[in-house]
Chain A
Amino acid sequence: MRWTAAIVCVALFVLITALGFMAARWRRGDLALLHEWGLGGRRFGTFIAWFLIGGDLYTAYTFIAIPALIYGAGAIGFFAIPYTILVYPILYVVFPRLWAVCNRHGYVTTADFVRGRFGNGWLALAVAITGIIATMPYIALQLVGIQVVIGALGVVGHGVLHDLPLIVAFVILAAFTYTSGLRAPAMIAVVKDVLIYIAVIAAVIVVPIELGGYGKIFAAVPAAKLILAGPKGPTLGSYGAYATLALGSALALFLYPHSATGILSAQNGGVIRRNAAMLPAYSFLLGLIALLGFMAIAAGIAKSPEFADGFKQYGPSYAVPALFLATFPGWFTGIAFAAIAIGALVPAAIMSIATANLFTRNIYREFIKRDCTAGEETAMAKLISLVVKLGALFFVIFLPLTYAVQFQLLGGIWIIQTLPAVMIALYTRFLNGWALLIGWLCGIVSGTWMAASLHFRGSIFVIHLFGTAIPGYAALWSLIINIVVSFVLSAVLNTLASDRHKDATAMKDYA
Chain B
Amino acid sequence: MPTPVPPPERRPRASLLRLLLLAPFVGVLWVSSYNSLTPALGGIPFFYWYQLLWVVIAAVLTAFVYFAER
* A interface residues, Cβ below 8 angstroms from B: 33, 35, 41-42, 75, 78, 81-82, 84-86, 88-89, 92-93, 103-106, 213-218, 226-228, 230, 239, 242-243, 246-247, 267-270, 273-274, 276-278, 280-281, 283-284, 287, 291, 374, 511
* Residue in A closest to B52 when the chains form the complex, CB atoms: A287
A287 x B51 contact (CB < 8 A): yes
Q: A82-B29, A82-B51, A227-B47 are in contact. Are A103 and B4 (CB under 8 A)?
A: yes
B residues 22-37 near A (Cβ < 8 Å) are 22, 24-25, 28-32, 35-37
User: How far apart sit A511 and B18, CA to CA, in the bound complex (Å)?
Assistant: 16
B contact residues around A291 at 8 Å (CB): 48
Q: Determine how close the nearest CB of chain B comes to the CB of A361; give it in whole angstroms.
A: 10
A239 x B24 contact (CB < 8 A): no
B47 x A75 contact (CB < 8 A): yes
User: Mind listing 14 A-B residue pairs with CB under 8 Å?
Assistant: A35-B2, A84-B55, A85-B55, A86-B28, A103-B4, A106-B4, A227-B35, A227-B36, A243-B30, A243-B31, A270-B12, A283-B55, A284-B56, A374-B2
| Binary per-residue interface labels of chain B (35-60) against chain A in the complex, 1 for a CB within 8 Å, 0 otherwise | 11100101111011001101110110
Q: A230-B35, A243-B29, A277-B59 are in contact. Are A216 and B43 (CB under 8 A)?
A: yes
* Residue in B closest to A30 when the chains form the complex, CB atoms: B2
Describe B's contact surface by its main secondary structure.
Answer: helix
A contact residues around B24 at 8 Å (CB): 85-86, 89
Q: A93-B18, A246-B28 are in contact. Are A267 and B7 (CB under 8 A)?
A: yes
User: How far apart sit A105 and B3, CA to CA, in the bound complex (Å)?
Assistant: 7
B contact residues around A276 at 8 Å (CB): 62, 66
* From A227, A242, A243, A246, contact of B37 by CB (8 A): A227
Task: Give how many B residues have a beta carbon under 8 Å from the other chain's beta carbons.
Answer: 42
A contact residues around B18 at 8 Å (CB): 92-93
A contact residues around B21 at 8 Å (CB): 89, 92-93
| 3 closest cross-chain pairs (CB), A and B | A215-B43, A214-B43, A82-B28
* Residue in B closest to A270 when the chains form the complex, CB atoms: B9
A273 x B12 contact (CB < 8 A): yes
A89 x B4 contact (CB < 8 A): no
B43 x A268 contact (CB < 8 A): no
B16 at the interface (CB under 8 A from A): no
A88 x B45 contact (CB < 8 A): no
User: How far apart sit A274 and B51, CA to CA, in the bound complex (Å)?
Assistant: 22
* B interface residues, Cβ below 8 angstroms from A: 1-4, 6-7, 9-12, 18, 21-22, 24-25, 28-32, 35-37, 40, 42-45, 47-48, 51-52, 54-56, 58-59, 61-63, 65-66
B contact residues around A78 at 8 Å (CB): 47-48, 51
A239 x B31 contact (CB < 8 A): yes
B contact residues around A93 at 8 Å (CB): 18, 21
B62 x A89 contact (CB < 8 A): yes
A contact residues around B2 at 8 Å (CB): 33, 35, 106, 374
A contact residues around B65 at 8 Å (CB): 92
Q: Determine how close the nearest CB of chain B comes to the CB of A477; give it in whole angstroms.
A: 16
User: How far apart sit A89 and B60, CA to CA, in the bound complex (Å)?
Assistant: 11
* From B4, B22, B45, B58, contact of A227 by CB (8 A): B45
* Residue in B closest to A240 when the chains form the complex, CB atoms: B31
Q: Determine how close the nearest CB of chain B comes to the CB of A62; give it in whole angstroms.
A: 15
B contact residues around A217 at 8 Å (CB): 43
Q: Determine how close the nearest CB of chain B comes to the CB of A269; give it in whole angstroms.
A: 7
* From A226, A246, A284, contact of B55 by CB (8 A): A284
User: How far apart sit A291 and B12, CA to CA, in the bound complex (Å)?
Assistant: 38
User: How far apart sit A284 and B62, CA to CA, in the bound complex (Å)?
Assistant: 15
B4 x A42 contact (CB < 8 A): yes
B31 x A268 contact (CB < 8 A): no
A contact residues around B62 at 8 Å (CB): 88-89, 92, 276-277, 280
B contact residues around A247 at 8 Å (CB): 25, 29
* From B11, B25, B35, B40, contact of A511 by CB (8 A): B11
B contact residues around A287 at 8 Å (CB): 48, 51-52, 55
* Residue in B closest to A103 when the chains form the complex, CB atoms: B6
Q: Determine how close the nearest CB of chain A comes to the CB of B27; give it in whole angstroms.
A: 8
A contact residues around B22 at 8 Å (CB): 89
A contact residues around B63 at 8 Å (CB): 277
User: How far apart sit A291 and B10, CA to CA, in the bound complex (Å)?
Assistant: 41
User: How far apart sit A374 and B3, CA to CA, in the bound complex (Å)?
Assistant: 12
Q: Determine how close the nearest CB of chain A comes to the CB of B35; give it in whole angstroms.
A: 5
* Residue in B closest to A291 when the chains form the complex, CB atoms: B48
